Structure formats: structure tokens, C-alpha cells
Amino acid sequence: MHIAYKKVILGILAITFSITTAVAEPTAPPLSDRAIRVWTTTDGLPHNSVNHITQDSQGYLWIASWEGPVRFNGRSFQLFSQATGLPDPGSLYVAENPFTKQIISTGTRGGVSYFQSSPTGGHWLPQPRVFDRVDYALFTAPKCTWYGTVNTGVIRECDGTRTQYTETEGLPSATVLELEQDHQGRIWVGTDEGAAYYDAGQDVFRTLEQLPNGYSFGIVAAQDKQIYVSLDREIFVVDSEQLTVSKWPTRYPSTITELYQAPDATFWVGTHEHGLTRLTDATPQMMSVATGLPNNHILSIFMDREYTLWVGTHRGLVQFRQAQFHSHRAEDGLGYDYVRAIAETADGTVLVGGLGGVRRIKNETVLPLETTSKVINESILSFAIDREERLYIGTFTNGLYILENGQQIAHYNEMNGFPGNDIRGLLLASDGYLYAATSVGVLRSRINADGTLQPPNYFGADDGLPDEIIYAIHETHNGEILIGSMRGLSRLNNGQIERIDVSSVSDAEFIFGFYENTSHIYVASDRGLLVHTKGKDVWQLFDDDNGLPTIKFFDVTLDHEGNLWLGSGRGLVYIAAKDFDIALNDDNPATPLPHIFYDNHHGLASAQINTGGPPMLAARDGDLWAATSRGIGHYIPAQSATIRQTPPQPVIEQVTADGRAISPNTYLDATTRRVEFQFVGLGYQYPESIRYRVQLAGYDQDWVEPTRSQLNVSYTELPPRAFIFQVQTAYPDGEWSDAATFTLHKLPTLWQRPSIWIAVGLTLVLLFILGLRLRVYSVTRSKERLQHLVREQTKTLQKLAHQDSLTKLANRRAFDELLRQKVAQHGGQQPLALILMDLDHFKEINDRYLHTTGDQVLRRVALIIRESARESDMIARWGGEEFAILLSGAHAASLDTICERIRKAIMQADLHDLVNNLVVTSSFGGASYIPGETAASLIRRADKALYSAKHEGRNRTEIAPSDE
């Protein structure tokens, strides 16, 4: 039966079932405790239909696709098409022969080919063609393989002899869908008209009366010694010894297309129209398009050695991995991505608020908020819950809602006497008042007994606040109200506003979040974490001087173990309680803080933690929740502790000498100039974050860590001797793996060989003076050449260490060194100025036009800046879309003019060759050097000016005052 015909039959079956049986689609995703990732053709996958998945002994994943067999190393897909020698390059099945370790790929026209791996890349060995399209291969002995075909039954090939089995030999049908060998050694066959097993004594296939006819895509010889057989939408369990049959109690909503038991003993069921689920005896909880799958038709399921689950669909390769975090996103039922506020009700339900309204999460299931209030679809900024479980909800544009038991009991906004429609934070204080952080100051309103509010009053600039844009509000244990605004930290005590001066430790202005325990108050700011020790009444600052990866934090909280969590726009920072206690009690303000930085690679769909009221929650059950720009991140400590952090397996994929692939223990000619090693870590939990370190023993004195994107290293002009190249891998914060090694030898030139030394010695006896001069000359020339090569290599390495690879400008490291030197050497005779600039809304360019276009824009902007500056000006890529320019001399005196010239040049740049009608704008912050100030101070003032330019609307220049 042709595949097109099979699809028609499956479609008819699915339609019939949908008419005759009403199946409610479950809402709880079965894999919500894992991070999900999808690869499609846009990510390099040759074809979106993933017919089969396996893993070989080295650790590579292999994928059968319609374009051919594909090898995946976690970073890139390598397609083998014509090289297989198949009549048609499309691959339907791929697996490793457990006896020979060869990879087999089968095709649509009966083609079978074996891949033999080798250090130089490997090669394919086409086999004699099987009668018909081969959908499955089963290896039962070193020289015995069974093939399942789509029209001509089962083909057994042993010692080169092929035997065919069809309906005549007892098969229910010649259309074979599955092959399996049970614990008794029996061969089982699944067909489009039922399942059968092979009777070796009679050389025929037999069926069991208890098994009905139907599509049998899945047969599993399970770890419990039973045989699980899928037939249409049902599963039957066969006792492997007695061959008795029992029916599994669960019926699935459409035809089962894949049945798989993972190494951890979990059974997975894939269906034709409803996605994926675990095998249970309860109502199946389907993972489908509605909950994150790219397609509901499951073609293949596989779990690798890291216990990562892979699923093949018609729309890409899906990975479900155990990670420290997972995210509930728009496609997982949340309905929107941008989350701003989180709260927890008395029954442990987590409330989620963001750009799309309010949702609830209970037992990993996203549910609607049961209410008729319009707040359900408002843009939410903040939550508060009182003792009666009344819910106070602050919105972005429509004021404050109050709900009780799902019913709206009040709505306050500018229309009824509550100015400031954006409610950024809410506080139900012990004094009986509700306090709210708004854009017009701090709202205070007496709470009535029924939860409604009395007319409010406001605290603003006239009352002593530094400004009226309020981000956070907190009641301390002694009843003071702490207020975080855009211009600093204040307290409200007995009706009076007082500024809290932290200038002795920080120039922080934006105050985003608070947390308090018995001994400390923690404050998240734009310049680090501020901590107030109550007993000593002192403030401390923790920022990049302590090794933290960023200094702008939007919220802070402690979990139930006392560990510290900081939310930033780049991810979450975790600091163990014991490490933070050490830093708190250390007089050195630069005490290093051991930490873990959680970002996208740890399972967060987005590493951008948002501001909100509040954006982080340490729930009563110990879980941590974080509001991000792509859903709500969820951390389960107990699950995180069980994640296997076995180091990825390092593999040296290829070694070339002057461009020619070589094998281990190769002897290189003395003229060989360049040897390159290509390697990869075969780990799939977060492959982009795998760390590497390499060493060429006999040349390198110590391990060298290349960047995580660099998967090759090269050496030139190696001296004659034996070398061992070693590479190790590790996940972030994980242990290093054992080393993969590659040995090679470089032969000496003739004059370096002992036999030649003896001959030269005899010659020197006869021609002492001439031989001596020739020897000295040869050694001198060799020494000069080697010294020259060393100098050139040193220059190259120094350039790479101080150059941004994308824009070819100086990198931040080089710029910081120059700035410190300039400031240290500055005598005040010549002006000195610093410009920091940032491309406006650059993330939108990356999101809309992809990162390749974004990279081209960065290169073009770097060229514009270079053309607008003098040769004496230092230009650097500061990081991401930020650039820095150091001006000196008369040029620095024209700081504002130079900023405006560059800004206009960028805005007017013709970028139509990249994207039609693309206009890029930028914001500039400049600061002139004040004699006596430090480099850090100059950077801080320029950064502050840049922040002001962005806040005032972007595409403008702000110059820092010289009297700060």
C-alpha cells in the first residue's frame, strides 16, 4: 500500500472517529515540567518531516528525513543525500546496528545503505536493493537483519540470503509498519491489518485471536517482559510467555502512530491527529498544537542518554528536556507572552498578569480567571490579595479593579476620582490603607470593611518625593512605607516623606523592588543590589565589582532556603545563602559572589525578567516563578536537583593538515604548516552553552578555553615531535568531561635528524671553519624565522583578544584598558571626553528581520562611526548594540557637535540594500572628563546621560553636567 493511500485511510479513520465519538481535549499539558525547543528548516533541518530518530554510540543524533539521513551534533545538521548511494536519497528509517556499530538508512525505493564512521569523516556502503520501500529494519544477529516493506511484506536477510514473508506465510497484510523482537527472541510484525509474531519452528507468522485487526504502528517489548501492541486507537498487552492478551483501559482520540518506551521506563504514545501523551490508565492528557507542539501528527519518539525526549512531527524536530526552568507561554495556554505580575492565592494557585489579562496556573495547568469583569482582558501591572482573598488588580491604562469570589465589587480610575491609571505596585498595609505606586505619585486610600476604597490622597513631589513616577512600594516590619521611584529611595513615616540617602555606596536612582527579612532589607536598583543591615543601620552595594553579570535588577527575593534571587533583563541570578552571608559580613566591598546565572539555555523561554508588581514569587511550596517577556518562568527546586549534569561527550570531528583530513597517529611531513582540529560536545540539554577547553600537549603549557561558538582551533609551524590534542567539555556550572584525544607526529627536516647530525659532525672535522660558519648561519636564520613567526602570532592573538569579531572595532576589554590608561596619564592639558551610544529598538530589528540582518546593521553602523571619527579617536563595540567613543584634544571639546553629527549620519544612512525603508536611530550620552575623577566615574556619568536620552524619547543626545 502506498504511503499516500495510507494517509487517506488514516484521514478517513480520523474523520469517522471525530463524528462518532466526542473526546474532550484535556487542557493540562503532560510535558509542562520540561523545557521545549523546536528545530525546523529555518534552523538548518533539511526537511520538516522527521520520520525516525536514534542516537549512535558516539552520541550523535541521527534523523531520517525526506531529504536523506541527517546527523545532528546539537549545533548543526549534516545531511547525507547523494553520498548514501540510495536510489532515492529520502530516508524513512535510521538506526545503529548494535553488532557492527554501522548506521543503516533505508529509503523509498527499497534502498539500504550503511554508514561506516572514521576519523576522517566516514563513508557510505550501499547494499543490494530490497524489493520495495523499506520502513523499518531490525537487527537480530551480527549477520541477520529483518526489513519491513510497504507492499512486499517482511524480508529476512541472513548471511547474504534474503527470504520474503507475505500473507502466504501468515502475515495479516504485506504492508509492514513495525518490527520488534521480544524477550523470548520472537519477531513481531505490525501491519495495517493487525499484528503477528514469527514461529521459527514452522517458518511462518501467526496471529493471536484476541488481537483485533487495525493499524499497528507500535509494538514494544517492554522492560516488564510484556509486549505492548497498538491497534488503531487502542493498546493491547501480550504476556510474552503465555501469549495471553489484555486490553489497556485507555482509548486514544485518534490512531496511534508511535508507541515508545524510554530508558527511564516511561511509555509515550504518539497519535495521528492529537499529539503526544504518556501512557496511563486515566484519560490521556495530550500535548498538542494547543500546548506547544508544532504539529499534532507524531512520526517518531526517542529519548537520548541525557534523558532528553525527542519527538518527530511533520513540522519539525521537537525537544523536551529536563531543565532548571520551564515556561508557560502563549502557545501553552497562557494566551499572551508579556507577563508583569505574579501572586499566589491561599490554595496555591498562581495568578499571572500581563499584556493579555489574568490567568491562573494550578497543578501546571493554565486556567482562565473565573470572572465576568472586564479586567480579564486588561493589561495587568500588579496584584494584591487581602485576608478575605479579595483580589486587587492594578492595570496599565484603566486603574484598579477589586474582585471578590470572582465578582467585581469596585473599579477605580480617573473617571471616579483616582488619578494615575497605571497602577505599578499595590500594598495592603497594616494601618488599614491601600498604597499604590502610580505615575503621579503614591496613592493612599482607606480600605472599607467590604474591601472597597475611600477617596484617596496622593503623595507627590510637593510632599517631598524626588519624583512622582513610582515603581515599587513596601511596608517594613516596623510599619514604615518604603517607596522606590525613578529618582531614588524614600520612606513615608507618620505622614511625612523622607529621602533615604545611599550615595555613600551607590549612585542608584531607579528603585524597582524590595524584599525584607528579620535582619536585612534588600533593594533592587539600576546600579546593583542595595542591602540595609538593620542592626548596624548601614548600606552595602553588590554589583559587577562582586562579579555579578549585570547591575540592573528589577526585583529581589529569597527562597525558603534563604538563597537570594535577582531578576534582570538578561536572566536570573542565584546566590546561595551561605555565600551571601559571607559577603555581607566581609568589609571588602569587592568580595566575589559565587553565583549561577540562569538564562534561555536553562529552560527560560525568555531571559528578560520584567518589572512589575511583583515580577518574582517564591511560592509557599518552594517553587520560584518569574515574569518574563515570553511567558512565566517556573523553577522547581526538587526537580532541578535531579537533573543529570553528566558532561557532554567530546568528539574530535575532523583533523586537517594543510586542508587535508588526517587520521590519528599520522606522521606529518616536515613542510606541513597548519594543523586544524574541529570538535564538538555531543550534549543536547543546552548545546550553545557547552564550555570547551583544549590543549595540544607538547605545545600548549596549559588548557585554553575558546569561546563557546568556536568549535575549532588551529596551530601553525609546529616543531618536530609527537603531539596529543585534547578537548574537554562541560555544561555551565558542571564538571569537565574526560578528554577526547588525537595523536599526531611531525617529522623533522633532514638537518634535524640524528643521522644527518653525525654526517655533519664528520664533515666539520674535515672542514671545521666552513662547516661551523654554515651551521651558525643556518641556526641564526632558523631562529630569526621562528622569532618572526612567534611575533606575528603574538600580534594576531593580541588583536583577536582586543577586537570585536563582528564589527572589527575594539572590544570592551581593549576600550576599558585604554580608558584607564588615558585617565591615569591625563594631566589636564588636553580635553578628554567619552561617548556612549545605543541603537534604538534594536531587538525589534533582530526579531523582525533575524539576527543576520541585525549583524549587518551593526557592521554598517560601525563603519559610519569610523568614518565620522578621527584616527586618534578610540572606537569600540561596548556590547550588543552599544558603542563607545573616546575623544581627546580639540575634538573632545566639540562633544555635543560630534554626537549629533554621528547620530544624524546613522539616522540618514541608506540601508535599503539590507531592508527596504529601514531607518535606524540611536541615542547618545556624553561626558567630559573632570580632572581627578576615575574612569569608572566617567563611564557612570556618560551612561547616566545615555539613560536620560533613552528615557526622554530616544534618537537624541544628552551631555552629562560637568559639576556632578
Of the candidates 648, 647, 641, which has an alpha carbon nearest to the alpha carbon of residue 623?
641
Handedness of CA 765, 770, 776, 777 (dihedral sign): negative
* Residue 202: Cβ-neighbour burial (10 angstroms; 0-12, 13-18, 19+): exposed
Residue type, 330: A
How many other C-beta atoms can be found within 10 angstroms of the C-beta atom of residue 604? 27
Query: Could you say which DSSP state residue 672 is in?
Result: -
Q: Where are the beta strands (DSSP E) in 250-397?
A: 256-261, 267-271, 276-278, 298-303, 309-313, 316-321, 325-328, 339-344, 350-354, 357-362, 365-368, 380-385, 391-395
CB 676 within 8 A of CB 713: yes
User: What distance in Å separates the CA atoms of residue 588 and residue 596, rounded to the nearest whole number?
Assistant: 21
Of the candidates 326, 329, 319, which has an alpha carbon nearest to the alpha carbon of residue 354?
329
Question: Residue 417: which region, alpha, beta or left (left: phi > 0; alpha: psi -120 to 50)?
Answer: left
Q: Please, what is the end-to-end C-alpha distance for the chain in angstroms?
A: 82
User: What distance in Å separates the CA atoms of residue 189 and residue 170, rounded to the nearest whole number?
Assistant: 11
State whether residue 374 is helix, strand or coil. Answer: helix
Query: HSE (CB half, 13 Å, CA atoms) of 238?
Result: 25
Measured torsion, CA atoms of residues 804, 808, 811, 814, in degrees rounded to the nearest 10 = 130
Q: Which of 881, 933, 952, 958 is the catalytic position?
A: 881
Q: Show the cell assigned to 510.
A: 531607579
Residues 6 or more apart from 759 whose CB is under 8 A from it? none
User: What distance in Å separates the CA atoms of residue 579 and residue 587, rounded to the nearest whole number?
Assistant: 14
Q: Where are the beta strands (DSSP E) in 22-67?
A: 35-39, 50-55, 61-65
Residues 6 or more apart from 724 whose CB is under 8 A from it? 696, 697, 698, 741, 742, 743
User: What distance in Å separates the CA atoms of residue 387 and residue 392, rounded to the nearest whole number?
Assistant: 12
User: What distance in Å separates the CA atoms of residue 287 and residue 295, rounded to the nearest whole number?
Assistant: 10
Query: Could you say which DSSP state residue 172 is in?
Result: S
Of the candidates 237, 259, 945, 940, which has an alpha carbon nearest to the alpha carbon of residue 545?
940
* Long-range contacts at 355-360 (CB < 8 A, ≥ 24 apart): 355/379, 355/380, 356/330, 358/393, 359/333, 359/334, 359/335
Grid cell 565620522 — which residue?
Answer: 868
CB 214 within 8 A of CB 193: yes
For residue 756, what is the enclosing H or E element? Answer: helix 754-766
Q: Show the cell assigned to 854.
A: 541585525
Is 964 marked active-site? Answer: no
User: What distance in Å separates the CA atoms of residue 878 and residue 884, rounded to the nearest whole number?
Assistant: 6
Of the candidates 128, 122, 87, which has an alpha carbon nearest to the alpha carbon of residue 101?
122
State whether residue 562 is helix, strand or coil. Answer: coil
Measured torsion, CA atoms of residues 3, 5, 11, 15, in degrees rounded to the nearest 10 = -160
User: What distance in Å separates the CA atoms of residue 903 and residue 835, rounded to the nearest whole number?
Assistant: 12
CB 541 within 8 A of CB 590: no
The residues that are catalytic are 881
